[in-house]
Amino acid sequence: MSINTSTRRIDAINKVKGAPIFASDLEMPDQLQMKILFAHHPHARIKHIDTRQAEYLPGVLGVLTAKDVPVNEFGFVTSDQPVLCGPGSSKPDTDRVRFMGDKVALVVAETEEIAAQALDLIKVEYELLPVLSDPVKAMQPDAAVIHDYLGHNVFTHRKIRTGDIGQGFKDADVIIEADYATPSQEHMVFEPEGGVSYVDSDGIITVHVTGQWPHHDQSQIAHALNMPEDQVRVIYPPIGGAFGAREDVSVQIVLALAAWRLHQRGINRPIKITLNREESILSHGKRHPYLIHAKWGATNEGKLTAAEVSMVADGGAYIYTSHLVAGNITLNCTGPYVIPNVKVDVRNVYTNNIPKAAFRGFGGPQGAFVSEIQMEKLAEKLGMDPVEFRLLNLAREGDQQTTTAPFPPGCSIADVVEKCALAGGWKKGHKRWVQPDFASNSASGKFHMKRGIGIACAHKNVGFSYGFREFCGVSIELHGKAEVEKAILYHGAAEVGQGIHTVISQMAAEALQLPVEMIQLIAGDTKTSLNAGSVSASRMTFVAGNAIREAADLVLEKWRNEDRPAVVHHNYQAEPTTPPDPETGHCNPNVTYAYVAEIAEVEVDTQTGQCYVKRILCAEDVGKAINPLIVEGQLEGGLLQGIGYAVMENFIERDGQVLTPSYSTYLIPTILDIPERMDTLILEYPDPQGPWGARGVGEVAIMATAPAIIAAVHNATGVWFDQFPLTPEHILQGLGKIRQA
């Protein structure tokens, strides 16, 4: 059996040896180097660019500006960002820079040092414009407009209107109303953005680059260069982390543009770029920060009657995936609960901050923070145990979502919460649940060290949402004579460190009834693979597994009919979802979900404000663990990233300027920050739609970490923290020991 087995990762030995060639390792004969001139102004109009001195510098082979871009626009869905900002562009309103990381010019030179020297010789005349860094101010009628095409700065407004919200609050005996704020977060992937481009012997622009969806990169490159997609080839080498940071285009288009323009001038040499850490932080999107107002009601018996949530997101300078993230948080802000009366408003707002983008959980962690802290506060006011209160309201099979569609088959959240609570020390009595008593004990006999425990839960969509028809292309070849001697699997999935290539190989071996060693995987190349979609939305195991199962049946039928070598190119499509009604939000939003519950145990030093996460317990329904060891690794990685989000990662932008542009100013968890105990409880309630019952895994663990930790801090200190990260300063402010700045 190939699945449900902790098969060694197919890239493990090479990675231990340091053998994989990442984009930053790529070296080709006669290779040139490229550097990007970034704007370093949050909002300005470019009046003039003088590149002559840079062009005359010995060793410089090309300087490119906006006039060199055939179609000067790109974007994940909405093309609202110039490839290069400046005058002389093919598109209107592209002579403006709208955030610090906008690209103004490219220099290609013999060495990186010469390219950097040439950047300093480019003279740009800027007309500084008003900077909008506060999304609330940017929403005002008299605010400066960041994008002329829109006429205002609110570019998304998602709604849910279900039931009668007024009656829901009349029916409530207890109401909790509060304001919350969630922070931005930097992905801090180990490998910054980079790649190599060239024009091959067939005239195809070829780009080796870091990304999450090669075919989408190919499409955006072709659009900007105004050429057919088959004239562009994208190849993914091994990738040093993603977490959503690579879902939007970074250097893909400018690499292709430089190779093409120099080729037109008779220079056909590979061109390489690798961003340094500060360039990476400055230029790629971040997790959305939200300002949130929530009002929830419940009866004295503990049944939810109403939930009203209003949220404003800082979308930054360009849309990226913000409107899609807004769809997720619209669901997650009310959690996996049955609430008869719901009113939700989510707005995305343009500012002159760094664009906000995909990040593990895709809006879900922000929404879960709101829903779970509201649940904790209601439980406290009702005098109910937080587990007992949740179990009274959690969705079961066939219950209605806030969008009025039923939860998909396999809704297991109540079972997950119960299993998590029992494993975390809760007791299930005859009539009531009883929480472990942590708050009454000081840690290690030190009265300034307070201990606490907290629980939270969440659900996360598996696959794309709101009418997007989930798909995945796969090709399989079977070679041999009397028996299959080799199976070749072509797949477009990006291996960003999560182990998907191993999981795909295991699923192919299972479907073809062959040993894993007989599967030869060729992946991440637009020339050889069908479009598999993005490695995001916790979707790839789910869609790839279903595609492989269907393709395996087809190719085995060919083999049995002696059509050899047997070759199949197959596109899987999931059951369709539906787009939301613009006024009510009613729809069938997602194919399926994964479910998680987490318990955090903390110690809080009330003298210094330091919060120590001592234990995290994560119970997650994965449907079927294709590779249990990889699942465990994904859960632990998500939990640690969630701890950083909750406790220490403090990304600061002020007036459009980034104040935390490096590892020395933006802290992420290290090995010293890993809890003493990190326990994962892998639950397997098969998803009826999933391959072998499998659900998605990659994002779900981060969903409930922050609210579990914040509930535990409240349990320890008696103080609610309605915003985070829980830096020592913030905790001391909450404890009243220092004044709020």
Q: Which residues of the chain are in CATH 3.90.1170.50 domains?
A: 31-129
Query: Helix (H, G, I), strand (E, B), or coil: what is residue 242?
Result: coil
User: pLDDT by residue (tens digit) across 252-267?
Assistant: 999 999 999 999 999 9
Q: Are 327 and 589 in contact (CB under 8 A)?
A: yes
Cβ burial 163-189 (10 Å sphere, 16+ → b, else e):
bebeebbebbebebeeebebbbbbbbb
Confirm if 619 and 596 have CB atoms less than 8 A apart.
Answer: yes
712 φ, ψ to 5°?
-70, -40
The two three-digit tokens of residue 224, written as one number: 């900007």
Helix, coil or strand: residue 128? strand
* Side-chain half-sphere CA neighbours of 400 within 13 A: 11
- CATH top-level class of 290-465+582-734: alpha beta
Strand partners, 109: 33, 60
Going from the first residue of the chain to its last (741 residues), give the mean pLDDT of each consecutive group of 10, the final group possibly shorter.
91 91 94 98 98 98 98 95 94 94 98 98 98 98 96 97 98 98 97 97 97 98 98 97 96 98 97 97 97 98 98 98 96 98 98 98 98 98 98 97 97 98 93 80 74 97 94 97 95 96 98 97 98 97 98 97 95 96 97 98 97 98 98 97 98 97 94 95 98 96 98 97 97 85 54
CA distances from 596 to 388, 634, 660, 664, 683 (A): 17, 13, 32, 33, 10
Q: How do residues 507-558 score in pLDDT, each as one tens digit? A: 999 999 999 999 999 999 999 999 999 999 999 999 999 999 999 999 999 9
The pLDDT value recorded for residue 133 is: 98
Taking the CB of residue 677, how many other CB atoms lie within 10 A of it? 11
Q: Give the residue ranges of DSSP H helices in 174-315.
A: 214-225, 252-264, 277-283
What residue spans in the chain does CATH classification 3.30.365.10 cover? 290-465+582-734
CB atoms inside a 10 Å sphere around CB 718: 11
Return the axis-axis angle of helices 628-647 and 705-717, rounded to nearest 10°: 50
Q: Give the pLDDT confidence score for residue 640 in this predicted structure.
A: 97
Cis before 515? omega within 30:
no
| pLDDT recorded at residue 653 | 97
Identify which of 576, 588, 361 has the alpha carbon closest to the alpha carbon of residue 471.
Answer: 576
- Angle made by CA atoms 217, 223, 224, in degrees to the nearest 5: 95
Q: What is the pTM of this model?
A: 0.96
Cα dihedral 718, 723, 726, 728, rounded to 10, equals -80
Give domain 31-129's CATH architecture. Alpha-Beta Complex (3.90)
Decide if 716 contacts 602 (C-beta within 8 A): yes
Question: pLDDT of 20-36, one tens digit each?
Answer: 999 999 999 999 999 99
Running DSSP on this structure, what letter comes out for residue 164?
-
* Per-residue pLDDT at 642: 98
**Phi-psi sector, 158: left (phi>0), alpha (psi -120 to 50), beta:** beta
| Rounded distance between C-alpha atoms, residue 294 and residue 289, angstroms | 16
With vertex at residue 50, the alpha carbon angle to CA 220 and CA 88, rounded to the nearest 5 degrees, is: 45
Task: Report the half-sphere exposure of 511 (CA within 13 A, side-chain side).
Answer: 28
DSSP assigned state of 231: G
CB atoms within 10 A of CB 231: 17
Q: What is the number of other CB atoms lying within 10 angstroms of the CB of residue 5?
A: 15
Q: Tokens for 506?
A: 């295991």
